[in-house]
């Protein structure tokens, strides 16, 4: 089946796209580059740029290339060994990209990121400014997770977990029109039904999510589960998402024309503003504010601030200014935002009216526990 999408032959090319390339697209087995396919990708990027589209690449492959140089047949489970593989492979990966882009007169730039680079608001904006500057110079940014610096004890806090998630974050950050997630997967397959590729997804429902599977590859991370999670993130930014096989010839242009196999996920509903996306998708919350039943529709349906009267208690350790989750009485996460009060202060104000909170903390600038400008609500 061919992927259905919102593009037509008459429409102009997208202004900006992110292309994520999985390890299986770039290599033949462990550590052996598929030079023909890489050359094809570079030709496709050059054609996009010639048509006026700005392109960001998110490239996997550094760990696999490092494994090849070290003669390893399995992805190391030890964090330090994975870091060593990434350190060796990163240089090889960038050499590969530049050598294949040089015939097209294109310069590439390496951009290595950790989750902390996008979680911190100042660093988040600095990364965006750097990427915009590179594009303005006519450079193709090649983005990857900075596996070499995430120490074992903080890995869980700093890692994106996979480059699918990173690519969606980049698409959101740079306001891309489309995200192409290219791997060995030909698209979302209805494994328990028709057994065929699902060409078009209007909304990612629980039924759609049930179609996803993980990965058993020795060099890959994630599988279709991570791809759907990434798609949901990008869709909230108004970015259409293609999931398709990077082995297909001229895959990007054919997807845009609706002539290639794959799955297109259409953005729907209102697009979140940049700050709300940063709150929802770029954070690792420090704790949770638990609210009563009355406060749920106030946040979810009315878009108002979270007041102390709606809070029952807090969990976790957080300070004023930290990002926290907001949970309904049944534990469902309904929102995320920047707390005005610390976890230790919440018991002193939970259930109180705002006037009482103001009397207790007269020097506090804001008496909302989370102001609506610093609050983002998850989709139902």
- Please report how the helices 79-101 and 62-70 are oriented relative to each other, as an axis angle in degrees rounded to 10: 110
The CATH number of domain 16-275 is 3.40.1160.10: yes
What CATH number should be reported for the domain whose range is 285-377?
2.30.130.10
Residue spans in the chain of domains classed CATH 2.30.130.10? 285-377
- Please report how the helices 163-174 and 274-281 are oriented relative to each other, as an axis angle in degrees rounded to 10: 160
Is the model's pLDDT at 213 over the cut of 60? yes
Q: What is the pLDDT of residue 150?
A: 54
Which is it for the CA torsion 296, 298, 304, 305, positive or negative?
negative
Q: What is the pLDDT of residue 149?
A: 63
Q: Are 257 and 5 in contact (CB under 8 A)?
A: no
Tens-digit pLDDT profile for residues 103-129:
999 999 999 998 778 888 888 899 999
Determine the average pLDDT of the residues in 3-14: 58
Is the model's pLDDT at 155 over the cut of 80? no
Considering only CA atoms, which of 287, 321, 230, 280 is closest in space to residue 118? 280
% of the chain with per-residue pLDDT over 70: 90
Two structure tokens written together for 334: 């309904």
Q: What is the pLDDT of residue 158?
A: 38
Binding residues for substrate: 60, 147, 163
Q: How confident is the model at residue 157 (pLDDT cuts 50, 70, 90)?
A: very low
Residue spans in the chain of domains classed CATH 3.40.1160.10? 16-275
Binding residues for ATP: 20
Q: What is the pLDDT of residue 156?
A: 42
Binding residues: 20, 60, 147, 163
User: pTM for the full model?
Assistant: 0.80
Mean model confidence pLDDT for the chain:
87
């Amino acid at each position: 089946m061919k992927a259905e999408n919102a593009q037509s032959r008459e429409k102009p090319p997208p202004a900006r796209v992110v292309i994520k390339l999985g390890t299986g697209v770039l290599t033949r087995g462990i550590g052996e580059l598929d030079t023909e396919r890489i050359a094809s990708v570079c030709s496709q990027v050059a054609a996009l740029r010639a048509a006026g589209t700005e392109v960001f690449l998110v490239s996997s492959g550094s760990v696999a290339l490092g494994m090849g140089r070290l003669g390893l047949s399995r992805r190391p489970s030890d964090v330090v060994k994975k870091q060593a593989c990434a350190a060796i492979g990163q240089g090889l990966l960038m050499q590969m990209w530049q050598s294949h882009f040089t015939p097209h007169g294109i310069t590439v730039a390496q951009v290595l990121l950790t989750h902390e680079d996008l979680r911190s608001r100042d660093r988040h904006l600095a990364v965006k400014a750097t990427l915009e500057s590179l594009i303005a110079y006519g450079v193709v940014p090649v983005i990857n997770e900075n596996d070499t610096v995430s120490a074992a004890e903080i890995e869980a806090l700093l890692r994106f977990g996979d480059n699918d998630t990173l690519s969606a974050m980049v698409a959101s950050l740079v306001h891309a029109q489309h995200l192409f997630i290219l791997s060995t997967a030909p698209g979302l397959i209805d494994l328990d039904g028709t057994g065929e590729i699902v060409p078009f997804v209007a909304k990612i429902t629980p039924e759609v999510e049930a179609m996803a599977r993980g990965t058993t590859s020795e060099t890959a991370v994630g599988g279709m589960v991570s791809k759907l999670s990434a798609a949901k993130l990008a869709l909230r930014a108004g970015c259409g998402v293609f999931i398709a096989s990077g082995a297909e010839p001229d895959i990007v242009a054919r997807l845009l024309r609706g002539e290639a196999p794959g799955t297109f996920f259409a953005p729907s509903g209102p697009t979140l503003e940049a700050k709300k996306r940063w709150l929802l998708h770029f954070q690792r919350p420090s704790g949770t504010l638990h609210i009563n039943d009355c406060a749920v529709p106030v946040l979810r349906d009315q878009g108002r601030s979270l007041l102390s009267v709606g809070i029952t208690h807090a969990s976790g350790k957080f300070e004023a200014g930290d990002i926290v989750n907001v949970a309904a009485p049944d534990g469902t996460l309904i929102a995320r935002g920047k707390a005005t009060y610390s976890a230790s202060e919440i018991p002193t104000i939970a259930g109180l009216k705002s006037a009482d909170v103001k009397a207790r903390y007269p020097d506090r600038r804001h008496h909302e526990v989370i102001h609506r400008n610093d609050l983002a609500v998850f989709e139902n």
